[in-house]
């Protein structure tokens, strides 16, 4: 009996339960282990997966193939247009190589869950590991046995459960056969953008994690909101495709801050909370499958009359709104494939509240650009920002993009980096912008005039979004 590991968003060898289970199975049955990755260009296009993320996945899959070869495990890169074509491709593979059992990591999204169901219905024995979260979805429930709709009690319960057992990552499987020749690089047949700025390989990812825990976690709370400071881990791209596991992150965090799970005051607590936010949104996706289909979490939001002006949306995408922090942020996204969390909140709020564009437009644009694109976190972040989501920012709280700039980019280092047009403009003026003064300010530069007046937009947003007010 032979075991097949089907890699999806768990592109690592260390701490990979599916790989460990496959190796155990093969050892018990005197079988071999093979691995497969299936390229699905049509599916990725329909999911709006960013070309930079596809390049990152391609590089990591090829790196994984090299490292698996050293363990004596061949990794085949196969092609199926979309998820519908997967059962046939897998059946063919399993029959050709006489694989008796397939091991994979479960995924929380609807289409991914249907894909796995179809594979099982096609007669393939598929064992799924629950490891895309540290605590599996539907295991952190309130007293009525339901998923929480508010983060704080979810996080409290999550910590209670997490601290019950010691956190131990799985040991790397030993070579199961002689090393295989180094495989050739296989290119995916889809549109890609170079992700070379991001190192691939789990050793690089683990080193980044350790360095962050050592140098930056203690200051995280103080520095994480300032986009000009390199104060966050920048590990999201690695977590999104599983080069790192959440358990590895926790283990490293707790090795430096063993009290992070138990003390509110622990220096590790703030970063731990972010990892819990990641879990919260993934658990929500499983508890409320409509989120995968991009429904408003709050059904009252179905009544919102979005303006959806295509010209304004385009200006937002291109970083031409005339609000420096919003524009610098969008250019960071367009140029690097990553955006700082504070700026994701500012730009999402600006699009949905100042411009009254449906959050789904912004969610889609982010997905098309982000190297860390992830349905759960992206949907959660967008619905939080728009006020339509679970535990969302209330609809009447509208970020002021000018004071956010003054507060979180006090030296102007971030905006100047992305908006060279403003080089000559005095920072004090940028931080104290008043329209129409602002319009005059930018008249001698190439920089856009503000697309909308802040005060006017705020009042308009509250009026339109009050469609979400209970009883309205
Ligand atoms: P750190 O601050 O170091 O946090 C550590 C890890 O915790 C992150 O790598 C990430 O995996 C997780 N995390 C942190 N904050 C959040 C959060 N608010 N929600 C869920 N997980 C979180 N994150 C994505 O991974 N993919 C997305 O597509 C995505 N889209 C977003 C869209 C919007 C509108 C907003 C407001 C947030 C979005 N986020 C998304 C969450 C967050 O902005 C990023 O995870 C974070 O900026 C990544 O940087 P980092 O790795 O340095 O994070």
Convert the pLDDT of each residue in 177-190 to its tens digit.
Answer: 999 999 999 999 99
Residues known to be catalytic:
274, 277, 306, 341, 359, 382
Torsion angles phi and psi, residue 7, rounded to 5: -80, 135
* Class of domain 2-129 as given by CATH: alpha beta
Query: Is the per-residue pLDDT at 158 higher than 80?
Result: yes
Query: Is the per-residue pLDDT at 170 higher than 90?
Result: yes
Nearest to 383 by CA among 282, 285, 297: 297
| Residue range 104-127, pLDDT digits in tens | 999 999 999 999 999 999 999 999
Measured from the CA of 275, which atom of ligand 1 is nearest? 7
Query: Is the per-residue pLDDT at 439 higher than 70?
Result: no
Query: Ligand 1, from 274, 345, 348, 378: best to mutate by most atoms within 8 Å of Cβ?
Result: 274
What is the mean pLDDT of the segment spanning 234-257? 98
Measured from the CA of 239, which atom of ligand 1 is nearest? 11
Pick from 141-145, 345-349, 388-392: least confident: 388-392
- How far is ligand 1, taken at its centre, from the CA of residue 341, in Å? 6
Q: Is 249 in the pocket of ligand 1 (CB under 6 A)?
A: no
**Residues of each domain in the chain carrying CATH 1.10.579.10:** 299-468
Residue 438's pLDDT is 57
Band of residue 470 on the pLDDT scale cut at 50, 70, 90 = confident
Stated pTM of the model: 0.97
Residue 151's pLDDT is 97
| Residue range 4-30, pLDDT digits in tens | 999 999 999 999 999 999 999 999 999
Is the predicted ipTM greater than 0.90, yes or no? yes
**Residues of each domain in the chain carrying CATH 3.40.50.620:** 2-129
Query: Is the per-residue pLDDT at 447 higher than 90?
Result: no
**Residues of each domain in the chain carrying CATH 1.25.40.80:** 133-167+202-287
Q: Is 385 in the pocket of ligand 1 (CB under 6 A)?
A: yes
* Class of domain 299-468 as given by CATH: mainly alpha
CB atoms within 10 A of CB 58: 21
Residue 448's pLDDT is 83
Query: Is the per-residue pLDDT at 168 higher than 90?
Result: yes
* CATH, range 133-167+202-287: 1.25.40.80
CB atoms within 10 A of CB 411: 10
Residue 430's pLDDT is 80
Q: Is 253 in the pocket of ligand 1 (CB under 6 A)?
A: no
CA distances to 297, 351, 353, 364 from 382, rounded to whole Å, are 11, 10, 12, 10
Handedness of CA 410, 416, 422, 425 (dihedral sign): positive
| Residue range 68-88, pLDDT digits in tens | 999 999 999 999 999 999 999
């Amino acid at each position: 009996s032979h075991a097949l590991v089907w890699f999806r968003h768990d592109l690592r060898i260390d701490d990979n339960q599916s790989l460990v289970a496959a190796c155990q199975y093969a050892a018990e049955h005197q079988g071999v282990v093979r691995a497969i990755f299936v390229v699905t260009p049509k599916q990725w296009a329909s999911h709006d997966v960013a070309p930079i993320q596809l390049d990152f996945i391609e590089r990591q899959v090829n790196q994984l193939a090299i490292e698996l070869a050293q363990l004596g495990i061949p990794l085949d890169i196969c092609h199926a247009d979309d998820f519908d074509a997967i059962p046939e491709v897998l059946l063919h593979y399993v029959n050709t190589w006489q694989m008796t059992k397939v091991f994979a990591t479960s995924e929380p999204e609807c289409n991914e869950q249907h894909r796995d169901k179809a594979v099982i219905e096609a007669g393939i024995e598929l064992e799924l590991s629950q490891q895309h979260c540290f605590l599996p979805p539907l295991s952190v429930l309130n007293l009525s046995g339901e998923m929480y709709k508010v983060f704080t009690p979810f996080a409290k319960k999550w910590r209670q459960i997490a601290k019950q057992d010691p956190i131990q990552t799985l040991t790397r499987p030993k070579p199961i056969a002689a090393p295989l020749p180094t495989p050739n690089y296989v290119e995916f047949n889809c549109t890609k953008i170079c992700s070379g700025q991001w190192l691939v390989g789990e050793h690089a990812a683990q080193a980044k994690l350790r360095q962050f825990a050592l140098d930056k976690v203690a200051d995280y709370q103080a520095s994480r909101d300032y986009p000009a400071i390199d104060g966050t881990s920048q590990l999201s791209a690695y977590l999104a495709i599983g080069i790192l596991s959440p358990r590895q992150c926790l283990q490293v965090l707790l090795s430096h801050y063993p009290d992070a799970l138990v003390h509110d005051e622990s220096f590790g607590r703030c970063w731990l909370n972010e990892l819990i936010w990641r879990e919260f949104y993934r658990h929500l996706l499983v508890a409320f499958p409509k989120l995968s289909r991009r429904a408003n979490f709050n059904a009252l939001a179905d009544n919102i009359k979005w303006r959806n002006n295509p010209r304004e949306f385009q200006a937002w995408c291109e970083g031409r709104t005339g609000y420096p922090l919003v524009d610098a942020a969008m250019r960071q996204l367009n140029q690097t494939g990553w955006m700082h969390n504070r700026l994701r909140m500012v730009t999402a709020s600006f699009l949905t509240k100042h411009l009254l564009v449906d959050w789904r437009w912004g969610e889609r644009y982010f997905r098309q650009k982000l190297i860390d694109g992830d349905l759960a976190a992206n949907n959660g972040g967008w619905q939080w920002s728009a006020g339509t989501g679970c535990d969302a920012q209330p609809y009447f709280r509208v970020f002021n993009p000018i004071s956010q700039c003054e507060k979180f980019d006090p030296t102007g280092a971030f905006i100047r980096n992305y908006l060279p047009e403003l080089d000559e403009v005095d920072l004090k003026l940028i931080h104290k912008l008043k329209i129409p003064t602002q319009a005059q300010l930018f008249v001698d530069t190439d920089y856009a005039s503000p697309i909308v007046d802040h005060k006017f937009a705020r009042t308009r947003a509250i009026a339109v979004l009050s469609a979400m007010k209970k009883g309205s």
